[in-house]
């Protein structure tokens, strides 16, 4: 019989992403949600603001209406022991060791955050590959996105292009910020194949660093909260001198 996570890993290899329903323990969800809301209302540092990224729909500056809207509560691992427990849990470690076929390390150089998407001032995120955030010997990192509440097209859920992690594109297909140019007909044909999986509270989506993805605006009246962490094989080193190598990584014990 195929073990559950082996089938999920095969799906990730094929599609570039896979949804794992009820990956978080239901008993852990209330505390994770409580902490998420407490930390957001305390505006506990370090924070990233929508206004600083200038994505479509974001307030133009910190001084503008909605300018103090938080996008990411950074360093989720460092900010709360409950978040850290999830990031380094046996369930995540086993899944990632299964994918990488060996020892696994968590990067703290990007993601490692509590992602929020606010009604009204939350921006939409254009099509991109997360590898733009990192520099590693091999482009082989996997993120886990953990929904603390429901995620649908209406509240700004992720969209993915299935199979796009296997596609090869020259640099002209991306803009200066490494967003995949939706204004090109060849790119638009690829984007047309997008899907947005609905996530229930506690569901996870695992996705490869080369999978094209985007996310819409939140047109509901509630903030959406998700925990996001990224992993790579212990033998896949960050490039010295880059942001990826700038902060000590966390080895996941087996």
Ligand X SMILES: O=C(O)CCC(=O)C(=O)O
Evaluate whether 108 touches 250 at the Cβ level (below 8 Å).
Answer: yes
Q: Which of residues 120-149 bind ligand X (CB under 6 A)?
A: 125, 130
Helix H or strand E segment including 251: strand 250-251
Evaluate whether 158 touches 196 at the Cβ level (below 8 Å).
Answer: yes
Among 115, 144, 190, 233, the residue binding ligand X under the rule CB under 6 A is 115
Evaluate whether 150 touches 201 at the Cβ level (below 8 Å).
Answer: yes
Tell the smallest beta-carbon distance from residue 213 to ligand X (Å): 5
Return the number of the residue (20 or 115) whose C-beta is nearest ligand X. Answer: 115
Tell the smallest beta-carbon distance from residue 65 to ligand X (Å): 20
CA angle 166, 129, 138 (to 5 degrees): 65
Tell the smallest beta-carbon distance from residue 2 to ligand X (Å): 30
**Alpha-helical regions (H) of the chain:** 4-15, 29-42, 50-53, 76-79, 81-87, 90-100, 185-191
Tell the smallest beta-carbon distance from residue 110 to ligand X (Å): 8
Residue 1-40 contact track with ligand X, rule CB under 6 A, x = bound: ----------------------------------------
Tell the smallest beta-carbon distance from residue 90 to ligand X (Å): 26
Burial bucket for residue 91 (CB in 10 Å: 0-12, 13-18, 19+):
middle
Residue 194-233 contact track with ligand X, rule CB under 6 A, x = bound: -------------------x-x------------------
- Which positions lie near ligand X, rule CB under 6 A? 115, 117, 125, 130, 156, 213, 215
């Amino acid at each position: 019989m195929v073990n559950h996570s082996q089938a999920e890993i095969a799906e990730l290899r094929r599609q570039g992403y896979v949804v794992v329903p009820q990956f978080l323990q239901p008993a852990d969800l209330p505390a994770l949600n409580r902490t998420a809301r407490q930390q957001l209302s305390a505006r506990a540092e370090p924070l990233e603001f929508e206004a600083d990224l200038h994505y479509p729909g974001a307030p133009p500056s910190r001084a503008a209406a909605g300018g103090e809207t938080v996008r990411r509560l950074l360093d989720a691992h460092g900010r709360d022991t409950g978040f850290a427990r999830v990031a380094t849990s046996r369930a995540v470690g086993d899944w990632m060791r299964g994918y990488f076929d060996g020892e696994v390390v968590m990067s703290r150089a990007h993601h490692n955050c509590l992602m929020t998407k606010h009604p009204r001032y939350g921006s939409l995120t254009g099509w991109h590959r997360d590898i733009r955030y990192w520099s590693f010997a091999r482009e082989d990192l996997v993120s886990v996105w953990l929904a603390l509440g429901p995620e649908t097209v209406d509240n700004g859920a992720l969209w993915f292009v299935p199979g796009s992690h296997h596609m090869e594109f020259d640099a002209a297909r991306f803009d200066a910020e490494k967003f995949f140019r939706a204004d090109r007909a060849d790119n638009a044909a690829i984007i047309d194949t997008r899907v947005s999986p609905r996530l229930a509270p506690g569901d996870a989506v695992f996705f490869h660093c080369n999978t094209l993805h985007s996310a819409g605006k939140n047109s509901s009246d509630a903030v959406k909260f998700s925990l996001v962490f990224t992993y790579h094989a212990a033998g896949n080193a960050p490039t010295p001198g880059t942001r990826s190598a700038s902060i000590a990584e966390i080895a996941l014990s087996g």
